[in-house]
Amino acid sequence: MFAEPERTGYDLNFRLFGFPVRVHPWFWLVTLIFGANVFDPDRPEFILAWFAIAFVSLLVHELGHALAFRAFGVGSHIILYSFGGLAVPWDTLHGRWRRVAVSLAGPGAGFLLAAVVWATNQSAQWAGGAPVAAFAYIALLYVNLAWGAVNLLPVFPLDGGQVSQEVCLHFFRARGLRVALQISIGTAAVAAAYSLACMLRLPAVIDFLRQMPWWFPVGGLWTLALFGVLAYQSYQLLQQLNWTQSHWDN
Ligand SMILES: [Zn+2]
């Protein structure tokens, strides 16, 4: 579903810790769109900081996956594109719980980065200086905590969806994929409804958000569109599965 994007003449290619990394031009465009609210022509340092934060955060997330693959003896390459990335393994990774560990390693690496950012500011107070430093501090924490949390939702093809699939296959065997897809549809539908409630500023949601930590993801048009599409994709996959199984039975 999140297939590897085609190579283009505008790709940025480099190696990091031995992993080939390819940055697709969509990455810069989508980062710019997501950062539109920080774009101020008089303060270009904010948009530059935003690009650096999105780049580093996404790279750290994918490095988490890639290092976990490597720990299990499987090489991979990293692709950054739109607001997602991919760590594409060169071999099949055998072992259900190893695959779960690889899926969790991405958000885990982001949480670790957030912890490092928080701890360095606790000791050196670097975020209290220039406005751009304060912005970088908040944005780094928000991006890594909020995206990590969203990514852990049991929705295909997010990291949490991969974990959910492995866990369901373990517990429900032949019915596992069906159960995982049902969980995916339900969770994505709830996330879409929450996004809509955030957009409409329903009092219940505002009360709920007051009780949550400051970095708790606030929904909007983007998350509404994302989870709407993902709910529909999971629904289609479930229909295909039903079709295949009914024809198999015949
Ligand atoms: Zn991931």
C-alpha 236 – ligand 1 centre gap (Å): 23
Single out the residue of 194, 112, 183, 110 nearest to residue 153, CA to CA. 183
C-alpha 100 – ligand 1 centre gap (Å): 11
Single out the residue of 63, 53, 69, 71 nearest to residue 114, CA to CA. 53
C-alpha 151 – ligand 1 centre gap (Å): 7
Q: What is the pLDDT of residues 166-183, one digit of tens each?
A: 999 999 998 999 999 999
Give the model's pLDDT for residue 192. Answer: 97
Q: What is the pLDDT of residues 98-134, one digit of tens each?
A: 999 999 999 999 999 999 999 999 998 898 888 899 9
Q: What is the pLDDT of residues 2-42, one digit of tens each?
A: 577 888 888 999 999 999 999 999 999 888 888 877 777 78
Q: Which residues surround ligand 1, an ion (CB under 5 A)?
A: 106, 159
Backbone φ, ψ for residue 186 (5° rounding): -60, -45
C-alpha 203 – ligand 1 centre gap (Å): 33
Q: Which amino acid is at 186?
A: G
CA torsion sign for 191, 196, 198, 204 is negative
C-alpha 62 – ligand 1 centre gap (Å): 6
Domain coordinates in residue numbering, the chain: 11-151, 153-245
Give, for 20, the enclosing helix (H) or strand (E): strand 19-23
| Residue 1 pLDDT > 50 | no
Distance of CA 105 to the CA centre of its chain: 12
What is the pTM (predicted TM-score) of this model? 0.92
CB 195 within 8 Å of CB 187? no
Alpha-carbon span 80 to 55, nearest angstrom: 8
C-alpha 202 – ligand 1 centre gap (Å): 31
C-alpha 78 – ligand 1 centre gap (Å): 11
Give the model's pLDDT for residue 33. Answer: 84
Alpha-carbon span 99 to 68, nearest angstrom: 9
